[in-house]
Amino acid sequence: MRLHNLAIRRALLALCLLLAKAASADTFDLAQLNQQLSEPEIVRGSFTQEKYLRALSQPLISTGTFVLARDRGLLWFLQQPVQQDYRISASGVASRDPSGWQHTNQQGPAARHNDLFLAVLQGDTEALQHDFELELSGTAQAWALTLTPRSKLLGQIFTAILIQGGTTAERIELLETQGDSTLLLLNDIQIDDQLGPSELHDLAD
């Protein structure tokens, strides 16, 4: 009987070790998320942005399309309630008028906000870790990332940024310290390996 019990305990121990090893192998971490989100060359889709302000009973809603190109930047085509094209890249932010792209020359917090927006969309966890504590949960197919500000400056603007997605980011929620919030939903996402001629032109500096 004693030998039988010992055999059972050893079998249970081996099973526990096997389960622990399997759980460890399945852990989805920040490095894997960063690699997963940086793999697509081109991500296209549509967006719906809902801005909730304490002073308004209904959210301000805007819609449009976007093109996110790795190592090049983001094209953000606002269609409703007004039409306006934006480009965010390493060289800054530009908007399009009848004569072409015009740099906005944003500086300070506004420029930092745009850098942050691009890093969030690209899932650049290495860049985000400079300014935020990151907490990741879920799997590669369905993950959630919570960003909590490290710096006092960002802490005065955001309480947290919540990002959810799968192959790409799909839902981004910005919670502001004053009680306002912004919900960004990315839909109809398509992954490609090259830009079209007009997109190449728009992303060229």
pLDDT in tens, 141-166: 999 999 999 988 888 889 999 999 99
- The pLDDT confidence band at residue 170, using thresholds 50, 70 and 90, is very high
Reference 160, options 149, 151, 150, 171; nearest CA is: 149
pTM for the full model? Answer: 0.81
Residue 175 and residue 8: Cα distance in Å, rounded?
Answer: 52
Separation in Å, CA 120 to CA 26, 44, 70, 87, 171: 24, 15, 13, 15, 11
Backbone φ, ψ for residue 193 (5° rounding):
-115, 5
Q: What is the pLDDT of residue 136?
A: 94
Residue 61 and residue 140: Cα distance in Å, rounded?
Answer: 30
For residue 19, pLDDT over 70 is answered with: no
Q: In the chain, what are the domains? A: 2-203 (2.50.20.10)
Other residues' Cβ atoms within 10 Å of the Cβ of residue 197: 7
Residue 173 and residue 184: Cα distance in Å, rounded?
Answer: 6
Reference 63, options 75, 44, 54, 50; nearest CA is: 50
Contact 170, 33 (CB under 8 A): no
Separation in Å, CA 107 to CA 31, 77, 93, 110, 190: 31, 22, 10, 6, 33
Residue range 23-33, pLDDT digits in tens: 444 688 999 99
